[in-house]
Structure 1
Amino acid sequence: MWWGYSPALDIQHEVNKSETNSLSECLEVLIVGAGDARHIVKTLGSSYLYRDRIITYHVIESTLEQVARSMLLLSTCLQRNLGLQETTRYYLEIFGNTLVRPATAKYLVKHSDQLADIPTNTIDCPWLSLEKLKHKDKDRLEGIFKFWERAARENISVVEYWDERVRKSLKTRYDYRDGVFDWDYHMILKSRNVSNLTVQEYRFWRNNGIAFVWLEGEPIRSNPTLLSNIIQHGPGFIHYAYLGDISNGPFFAWASEEAKDNHDKYRATDIAEREVMRSIHEIRTKEPLCENLVASHRDSSILNGVLVTEMPDTKMEQESWKREKNKYKRDEISWVDIKNHKVIFHPVTSLETLKYKTEYTSKFDFLWVAHNMTKQLSNLTVLLKKGAIVLIELPKYLVQLREEDLQNFIKELKDTAKRNGLYEICDINTKKHIAKFSKC
């Protein structure tokens, strides 16, 4: 729910492979159900490699919490006044950890307070548009940011919610959960050519929801951005605890590239840090990243190691932080100028309604669809130009699916695509994480 299960893609690279759209001056991109902002971040970082284009990213997510998280992660990547490594680790901790370092929690408190003004247009955000959302959706977005600010200060116990989900999922196997996690890793994930992800990282995440850890600092404050169905109720809020993924992990969005050179020694955390850092550096400088800037790769003694092996003391940093009124000036946010790029969020109801709007018929050059949104293809293909590129995520990394399930998914996907006027660009099989099509 909170992250995707396929690597971040450079959308311009995918479009340029097509003779139909490679020369287009403007690109209209539709992203459905990605779960996070990784494709936009990757494309922004790589844009200096291509000629100037105006790219508009139209994004549809199933919940407003996912919209808010994408706004937070994108804003973090685009901020000028943060250090490169600092930004990278803020991004990854908020993205994939139930517990974050105190510094990250303080950043989350501050930035959530600032972002709460975007839905009400109190603060101008040149790279973002929420105009397609209804007023009640904007009000809910504002409430979500305010809840994050308050919950991060009060250190709401996300890990307890996580443990409840694990107990409910495993039932009588809970006391033997490490054996269950090892089985899923060795018998399923390893057979699907998952590189760099270590069994220690995977097991630690399955136990408590902490995916990315480093030597510097200990994750001891809760990450409320992983809570679901946040609704303002009088002076407070209600929510439905943690309803996200507890089986697969956030590792595949940034850490699933195949091992090459000596990178096979790196943990998933190291690869994710390097890839996110590369994109942020390229967004800021429009130059390639020097590998020596990635601090976690300088010391070979920590490669393929586990830096946190047990949960921190539950008594550490449990106090609530007081809110300091008017502490954060509204003009403190300074974003990198990405004038040729615009992100537009649409309500989830757009999946049913866009096909009836003439301005969206044959509008999009590129479509990306999550594996759990393929039933929406009949609503989406009418929105595509002839020759448009369609990328559909495959559930290769889902441990709950067996080989037979993956084969059945691909068979059904091919049938659905054919019925909706899509043809395969390349062979589709269970070894791949993306299926590629084009609009006839």
Structure 2
Amino acid sequence: MDKGLGSVTWWGFSPAIDLIDYYEKANCNTIRSDGEKVGHINILLIGSGDIRHVLKSIASLNRRKGCSVHFYILENNMELYARALLLLSLALENPNTCGLQEKVELLIEIYGNSLVRSQTAAYIQQASNSFIEMVTDFDCLEERLPVFDLNSLKYKERDMLEGIFKLWRKPETDIFDIKHCWDLRVRQHLGTRYDTAKGAFDWDYSMKLCDRGAEIIGSRLYQRWRKEGVAFLLRDGNYDSPNKTLASGMIFQVDGERLGRRGYWGDIVVSPYISFGLECAEERFFKRANREYASDAEAITQYNITSLLHELQTGEPYIEPEAAASESTMSTVVEEETEDVEDLKPAEDISSDQQAKYLPCENVKISFLPLNSLPDMTTKSKYQKLFDVVYFSNSMVHHLVPPISDIFADKSMLILETAKFITELSRDQYVDFTNKIDGMAKQVGCETMIDCNPLKDSFAFYKFQRQKTTM
């Protein structure tokens, strides 16, 4: 396990992108956003770690007449599936049961904080009760959240999911002391530099993240997150409950014996700000005063998530209220939504006339594949020539070998995450990584679609064209 990055990718190391938009722009097939030609897209996400690409892609789907998409998600850790189910179901909650502002705050808090408010912890417990029912009864899942498909998972993986949700629903806080776990990880990572941790954090921010285009994060936010794992403080309150969705188990060899240990085994050096906090269509967030940004990644994340959830909920692009557009506050408060998280009703308390607890998503399907099942997929006929878009994270790209091309559809698109924001690598190392994955892509029959600058770009894009065989 890398001391800084850990072994579980709780959040992505690249900004969220609209996969469907890139696919259309690449003209890989006949799908167009003008409504004249429509179709279905199959997207395989390998090791993406979180829901960022799925959320951004489905939020814009209403703009595309007749277009439908099927996401296939493949990870190496079952806790990532549980988190995806929780966060995506939260994003799809009906506004009658969860208002937009509360939804945004809950999602961001669960996504990127080691410690959450008691109200958020209560929401996780309530949602876990519902998911225990759904992962043990697929008829219940089909009735409540038909957008999700767990049929491909093995029985032991379904049992693991149930066990994870049972852990999350426990009210006890001492079963996962994330403050202690976080401090142990920081001590292990810094070693003798622990006594000067503040200087070490500042060095990583100034000399690594800023050098890679992440200066907008802000030193204050980055220092706070590195110290205690709390990335977002969107509302006044006590952030003192452990975020149990960040708990996972690892097996260690101790004196020849295999011992399991629950802890926090994720990133402690890059931060959850990368996914939604670096890029934004609103230029005002990037204005400077005295050579300093007037805003930071926390405000950008809140705006971006609000925009995505608003469009997902209404089908219309988000227009910020005038009061929230004030340059002095940089706030994204949604005035129409005033109810507090404390007033959220548990799923079982919702009356029958409110049983539409989730937004309809007839044109989206999200399937979870067995862990580490990519090699097996190349031998199964149902996956042959299936995927129009294939995405590899930088931690899973070693699986990009020639047999994988069997699952690529003709004229499909391959997206590879670069190592731009992997701060544990030097500049020369992450440039070499980009050159290496470029060679791997070409070995499986892909050609460059968009030129990739390893110092600036978070992704490398390729187009696959199956060679016609001659008799």
Gap change, CA 1:113 and 1:163, over 3 Å in 2: same
Aligned-pair CA distance for 1:381: 2.5
- SS of 2:390 mapped into structure 1: strand
Is 1:351 matched up with 2:367?
no
Is 1:256 matched up with 2:289?
no
Gap change, CA 1:258 and 1:119, over 3 Å in 2: closer
Confirm or deny: 8 A CA contact 2:216 2:278 kept in the other structure. yes
Query: 1: CA distance between counterparts of 2:271 and 2:323?
Result: 23
Query: 1: CA distance between counterparts of 2:349 and 2:75?
Result: 29
Gap change, CA 1:152 and 1:399, over 3 Å in 2: farther
Aligned-pair CA distance for 1:22: 3.9
Is 1:76 matched up with 2:76?
no
Confirm or deny: 8 A CA contact 2:75 2:372 kept in the other structure. no
Paired residue type of 2:271:
G
Is 1:280 matched up with 2:309?
yes
The answer for the alignment partner of 1:11 in structure 2 is 19
Aligned-pair CA distance for 1:350: 1.7
Q: After superposition, give the CA deviation of every residue in 1:360-382 in whole Å (9 maximum; x if it has no partner).
A: 11111111110111111115332
The answer for the alignment partner of 1:113 in structure 2 is 129
Gap change, CA 1:205 and 1:428, over 3 Å in 2: same
The answer for the alignment partner of 2:193 in structure 1 is 173
- Specify every segment of 5 or more residues in structure 2 that has no aligned partner in the other structure, as ranges: 1-8, 32-37, 252-259, 287-293, 332-345, 466-471
Aligned-pair CA distance for 1:229: 2.4
Aligned-pair CA distance for 1:260: 6.0
Which contiguous aligned blocks of 4+ residues in structure 1 show a shift greater than 6 angstroms? 329-333
- SS of 2:275 mapped into structure 1: coil
Query: Residue 377 of structure 1 is aligned with which of 394, 400, 417?
Result: 400
Query: Residue 392 of structure 1 is aligned with which of 416, 425, 429?
Result: 416
Is 1:338 matched up with 2:361?
yes
Confirm or deny: 8 A CA contact 1:105 1:221 kept in the other structure. yes
Paired residue type of 2:277:
A
Gap change, CA 1:63 and 1:330, over 3 Å in 2: farther
Query: 1: CA distance between counterparts of 2:433 and 2:40?
Result: 34
Confirm or deny: 8 A CA contact 2:44 2:73 kept in the other structure. yes
The answer for the alignment partner of 1:91 in structure 2 is 107
Give the structure-2-normalised TM-score: 0.83
Query: 2: CA distance between counterparts of 1:72 and 1:294?
Result: 31
Gap change, CA 1:168 and 1:285, over 3 Å in 2: same
Confirm or deny: 8 A CA contact 1:127 1:343 kept in the other structure. yes
Confirm or deny: 8 A CA contact 1:365 1:388 kept in the other structure. yes
Confirm or deny: 8 A CA contact 1:65 1:230 kept in the other structure. no
The answer for the alignment partner of 1:227 in structure 2 is 247
The answer for the alignment partner of 2:464 in structure 1 is 439
Query: 1: CA distance between counterparts of 2:375 and 2:149?
Result: 21
Query: Residue 430 of structure 2 is aligned with which of 391, 403, 406?
Result: 406
Gap change, CA 1:327 and 1:421, over 3 Å in 2: closer
Aligned-pair CA distance for 1:111: 0.8
Query: Residue 142 of structure 1 is aligned with which of 162, 169, 191?
Result: 162
Paired residue type of 1:95:
Y
The answer for the alignment partner of 2:295 in structure 1 is 266
Q: Percent of aligned pairs with the same residue?
A: 31
Paired residue type of 1:261:
E
The answer for the alignment partner of 1:317 in structure 2 is none
- SS of 1:407 mapped into structure 2: helix
Query: 2: CA distance between counterparts of 1:372 and 1:216?
Result: 36
1:299-314 equivalences under 5 Å are 300-301=328-329
- Specify every segment of 5 or more residues in structure 1 that has no aligned partner in the other structure, as ranges: 232-237, 304-324
Aligned-pair CA distance for 1:169: 1.0
Confirm or deny: 8 A CA contact 2:404 2:444 kept in the other structure. no
The answer for the alignment partner of 1:315 in structure 2 is none
The answer for the alignment partner of 1:191 in structure 2 is 211
The answer for the alignment partner of 2:334 in structure 1 is none
Point out the more displaced range, 184-193 or 255-264.
255-264
Query: Residue 103 of structure 1 is aligned with which of 119, 132, 141?
Result: 119
The answer for the alignment partner of 2:451 in structure 1 is 427
Query: Residue 218 of structure 1 is aligned with which of 225, 238, 254?
Result: 238
Give the structure-1-normalised TM-score: 0.89
Query: 2: CA distance between counterparts of 1:346 and 1:293?
Result: 44
Query: Residue 292 of structure 1 is aligned with which of 298, 321, 330?
Result: 321
Gap change, CA 1:302 and 1:25, over 3 Å in 2: closer
In the alignment of these two chains, the number of paired residues is 412
1:29-40 equivalences under 5 Å are 29-40=43-54
- SS of 2:419 mapped into structure 1: coil
Confirm or deny: 8 A CA contact 1:65 1:229 kept in the other structure. no
Paired residue type of 2:268:
I
Query: 1: CA distance between counterparts of 2:281 and 2:347?
Result: 48
